[in-house]
Amino acid sequence: MAMELLDTINVIEDQEWLEAPSTTVAEVVSKMLTQPSGRPTGLSDFLNGVWLGHPLHPLLTDVPIGAWTMTMTLDGLGMLTRRRDFNLGADVTLGVGLLGALASAATGLAQWQYTIGRQRRMGFTHATLNVAAVGLYGVSLFCRLRGGRAIGRMLATLGYGMMTVSAYIGGDLVYKERLGVTHIPEQELPETWHGSRFRLKDGSIVNGPATFPQPVYETRVRDGMIEVRATPQPQ
């Protein structure tokens, strides 16, 4: 199964035709979250987790994944036991998952708008699958409330499969593409791509979307040589 998913990701990343629609969506998102001066808005900083010191998106993705896992579990228990309280619990967790998915989508778009190339195409696919999963779960909840629990369970199962594939792609974006992760190549590049600013004194963030401070180095000249070392971190 893992190899099949890897093959799927390799196919997706080679789909150059995804560049046009993904770029269009990214430009729309960027206009909504960027000031006329080119700096990120306060909403952009909030959605990117600047105030938290950590990207907000990966924290919120656990809400729909966890809630919809509970939905599947309670659906199974409801089928086995015929108990109405399990059915009610499945409906509630499904609704919680939908709310969490909306919050996760907003923070994900705020983070994704700065991507290019493979990251952008993979992120676009990740988002499209999530939209499809949300649609399936939304119709599932509607069917449940109208008495169509059997079809609701089937749609939820399809949505869970869609979400699982999307989550796998999301993991690829983080662990392979290092989206939203602090790393040396990113620290060596100027932050003109997305407008992040840092204090020269201590490397702390003035404004996002960056959520990690920059490293600070002490320098001195000894015997005609410039010596540099990382500033010791307080214990």
d(CA 149, CA 75): 9
How many domains are contained in the chain?
1
H/E element, 221: strand 217-222
Residue 133 lies inside a defined structural domain of this protein = yes
| 3-class SS string, 44-71 | HHHHHCCCCCCCCHHHHHHHHHHHHHHH
Residue 204 lies inside a defined structural domain of this protein = no
Residue 147 lies inside a defined structural domain of this protein = yes
Residue 225 lies inside a defined structural domain of this protein = no
The pLDDT value given to residue 97? 97
Residue 191 lies inside a defined structural domain of this protein = no
Q: Output 116 or 81, whichever has higher pLDDT.
A: 81
Confidence at 172, pLDDT banded by 50, 70, 90: confident
List the domain range (segments joined by +) for residue 77: 2-175
Residue 212 lies inside a defined structural domain of this protein = no
Residue 180 lies inside a defined structural domain of this protein = no
DSSP assignment, residue 38? S
Confidence at 193, pLDDT banded by 50, 70, 90: very low
Nearest Cα to 57, choosing from 41, 42, 39, 44?
44
Q: Tell me what the pLDDT averaged over the chain comes to.
A: 82
Residue 222 lies inside a defined structural domain of this protein = no
